Amino acid sequence: MSFRTLNLTDELHAYVVAHNPNTDEVAGALIEETRRVLPDNAGMQIAPEQAGLLTMLTRLVDAKVAVEVGTFTGYSALSISRGLADGGKLICFDISTEFTDIARRYWDLAGVTDRIELRIGPAQKGLAELPADPVVDIAFIDADKSSYPTYWDELVPRMRPGGLLVIDNVLRHGRVLNPETTDDQVIVGFNTMVRDDPRVDSILLPVADGITVARVR
């Protein structure tokens, strides 16, 4: 069998994290507070190794317009905002002020607040209300799994050619092989749909819980 992605031990994971950006003081404090204040929800936060990837992808497309669906306590938004081009903006959607009030504090600390516009309310509605022009450089989808197909349908036509859609949790901790919940089943169908969508080229990366990167043609 050919070589495949390592199963990371805790020690090797720590090594990976130590050799990635976005594990600075602000990000570290945000991770710590999220775990302490929201222990039951902290697992929703992106992994540190995904944070660096988001910043890098945002830089690679020289993003001026970015969209995030699912902000929670703000780590992914912090990472995207750090990669934006001068004058760039990130529009974030979330339904929770409890979670995003924490995000706002850390964006302030990191000095990125002026680059982020947070819209509270269901992203299904928020995305549908965005202008139809294809101007989005990068979009990150990380909210309720059952709506991933809706988010995809709303976002793809709004992406500029060469823009990137980045989608988290596409492996469902391995349950894509044996779906246990409706959300798992939605993601199984979603992954096939993305792979076969002629409007994009996509790769599914086994980073953290699986992250798909799709480039709009």
Ligand X SMILES: C[S@@+](CC[C@H](N)C(=O)[O-])C[C@H]1O[C@@H](n2cnc3c(N)ncnc32)[C@H](O)[C@@H]1O
Q: Which residues bind ligand X (CB under 6 A)?
A: 44-46, 70-73, 75-76, 93-96, 99, 122-124, 142-144, 147
Smallest distance from ligand X to CB 217, Å: 26
Would you state the structure tokens that stand for residue 153, as one six-digit string? 């349908």
Q: Across-strand partners of 138? A: 66, 164
* Cβ distance to ligand X smaller for residue 148 or 216: 148
Cβ proximity to ligand X, 72 vs 198, nearer residue: 72
| Nearest approach, Cβ of residue 200 and ligand X (Å) | 21
Cα(135)–Cα(64) distance, integer angstroms: 9
CA diameter of the chain: 50
Residue whose tokens read 């793809």: 156
For residue 179, the minimal CB distance to ligand X (Å) is: 19
CB of 1 to ligand X, least distance (A): 33
Q: What are phi and psi of 163, to 5 degrees?
A: -70, 160
Q: Judged by CB, which is closer to ligand X: 80, or 199? A: 80
If the CB atoms of residues 125 and 199 are measured against ligand X, the closer one turns out to be 125
What is the signed CA dihedral for 192, 70, 112, 65, rounded to 10 degrees? 50
